[in-house]
Structure 1
Amino acid sequence: MLSQFQGKSQYDKSIDETLRPSACGPVTASVILQHMDNPLSKIPINQLYKLLGTTRIGLFTWRFVHRLQQLLGTGWQVRKCSFSEAVYELDSGRPVAAKFDKWFSFNWNGGYEFNYHWVPVIGYEKNASDVTLILHDNGSPSSTGNIRHVSYRVNHEVLSFVKIAPLNTSKRH
Structure 2
Amino acid sequence: MKKLIDLQGFSQYHHKIHPSYRNSACGPTTIYVILNYLFGKKVPPNVNELYSILGTTKIGLYRWRLIKNLQNYLGAEWVVKNCTLKEALQQINEGRPVAVKFDKYFTFQWKAKPTFKYHWVPLIGYELEGGELFLIVHDNGGINRDSQIRKVPYTKNYKVLSFVKIEPKRYKKSE
Matches within 5 A, 1:152-171: 152-168=154-170
**Residue among 18, 21, 25 paired with 1:19:** 21
Amino acid at match of 2:77: G
Q: TM-score of the superposition, structure 1-length normalised?
A: 0.93
State the match for 1:2 in structure 2.
Answer: 5
Structure-2 change in CA distance of 1:143 and 1:39 (3 Å): closer
Aligned length: 168
**Native 8 Å contact 1:40 1:72 kept in 2:** no
> After superposition, what is the alpha-carbon deviation per residue over 1:11-31, rounded to whole angstroms, capped at 9, x for unaligned?
001100110000000011111
Q: What fraction of aligned residue pairs are identical, expressed as a percent?
A: 46
**Native 8 Å contact 1:30 1:40 kept in 2:** no
Q: Which has the larger radius of gyration?
A: 2
Displacement, 1:42?
Answer: 2.5
Q: Which moved more, 1:54-63 or 1:40-49?
A: 40-49
* 5+ residue gaps, structure 1: none
* 5+ residue gaps, structure 2: none
Q: TM-score of the superposition, structure 2-length normalised?
A: 0.92
Instruction: Tell me, in whole angstroms, the C-alpha distance in 1 between the residues paired with 2:144 and 2:48.
Output: 20
Displacement, 1:127?
Answer: 2.9
Instruction: Tell me, in whole angstroms, the C-alpha distance in 1 between the residues paired with 2:40 and 2:80.
Output: 14
Q: Structure 1 residue runs of 4+, over 6 Å off?
A: none
**Native 8 Å contact 1:2 1:123 kept in 2:** yes
Instruction: Tell me, in whole angstroms, the C-alpha distance in 1 between the residues paired with 2:10 and 2:30.
Output: 8
Secondary structure at the counterpart of residue 58 of structure 2:
coil
